[in-house]
């Protein structure tokens, strides 16, 4: 009886092993070690999106340090060569950054950038560096007097973007901006606005 049970157990074990081995082979034959090719994320193409973050900075030749929430929209285009991703991006932001010291108040109601991007793709994760042109409005106030200047400068930064699906991605980004120096009659001196922006955003890829 014991021998019969042992023989039946051995037969069942052999059958199960055979089924498992057969399941390893793809239908139609081929290597038993076949595995599907992992999806390679495609960064190339046009995209649009939005962002929100925080801006903090300094007005030179003063003790004024404007800061506040900033947010806006961006659009760009990527070219991909292997794991390298090259792109161009523009954005336009509204900002609540302002500060008051003694009688003077400075604010940066809006700004924008036009930048190049160079990234390195780890499939759906892409760290990148970015830099280019920055421009924006700097407003100076003293009581009932106000003076607006549209200033032009430069920006440098870095970030990382993560592909959530083939059409949607999320990003985190830091930019340093220098909007250059202009003469303000209200302060009777030359003032420049330099700031940092940390923001998060999403993009839709076409």
Q: What is the 3-state secondary structure (H, E, C) of the chain?
A: CHHHHHHHHHHHHHHHHHHHHHHCCCCCCCCCCCCCCCCCCCCCEEEEEEEEEEEEEEECCCCCCCEEEEEEEEEEEEEEECCEEEEEEEEEEEECCEEEECCEEEEEEEEEEEEEEEEECECCEEEEEEEEEEEEEEEEEECCEEEEEEEEEEEEEEEEEEECCCCEEEEEEEEEEEEEEEEECCCCEEEEEEEEEEEEEEEEEC
Domain of residue 9: give its range.
1-35
Residue 102 has a pLDDT of: 85
Here the CATH number for the domain that contains residue 72 is 2.40.160.20
Residue 111 has a pLDDT of: 98
Residue 23 has a pLDDT of: 40
Residue 143 has a pLDDT of: 87
Instruction: Please indicate, yes or no, whether residues 80 and 166 belong to a single structural domain of this protein.
Output: yes
Q: Could you tell me the mean pLDDT of each successive run of 10 residues in the chain, 206 residues long?
A: 44 40 42 57 97 97 96 98 97 97 94 98 97 96 91 97 96 97 91 96 98
Residue 12 has a pLDDT of: 37
Number of domains the chain contains: 2
Instruction: Please indicate, yes or no, whether residues 121 and 24 belong to a single structural domain of this protein.
Output: no
Answer yes or no: is 40 within a domain. Answer: no
Answer yes or no: is 15 within a domain. Answer: yes
Instruction: Please indicate, yes or no, whether residues 97 and 142 belong to a single structural domain of this protein.
Output: yes
Answer yes or no: is 20 within a domain. Answer: yes
Instruction: Please indicate, yes or no, whether residues 99 and 159 belong to a single structural domain of this protein.
Output: yes
pTM of the model: 0.78
Instruction: Please indicate, yes or no, whether residues 3 and 81 belong to a single structural domain of this protein.
Output: no
């Amino acid at each position: 009886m014991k021998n019969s049970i042992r023989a039946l157990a051995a037969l069942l074990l052999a059958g199960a092993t055979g089924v498992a081995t057969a399941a390893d082979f793809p239908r139609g034959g081929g290597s038993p070690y076949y595995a599907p090719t992992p999806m390679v994320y495609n960064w190339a193409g046009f995209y649009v999106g939005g962002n929100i973050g925080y801006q903090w900075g300094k007005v030179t030749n003063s003790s004024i340090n404007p800061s506040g929430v900033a947010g806006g929209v961006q659009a760009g285009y990527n070219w991909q060569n292997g794991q390298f991703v090259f792109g161009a991006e523009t954005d336009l932001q509204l900002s609540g950054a302002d500060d008051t010291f003694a009688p003077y108040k400075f604010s940066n109601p809006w700004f924008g950038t036009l930048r190049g991007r160079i990234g390195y793709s780890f499939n759906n994760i892409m760290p990148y560096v970015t830099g280019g042109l920055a421009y924006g409005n700097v407003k100076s106030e003293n009581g009932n007097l106000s003076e607006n200047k549209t200033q032009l400068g430069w920006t440098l930064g870095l970030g990382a973007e993560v592909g959530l699906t083939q059409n949607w991605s999320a990003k985190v980004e830091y930019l340093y901006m220098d909007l250059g120096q202009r003469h303000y009659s209200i302060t009777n001196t030359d003032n420049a606005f330099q700031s940092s922006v940390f923001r998060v955003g999403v993009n839709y890829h076409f």
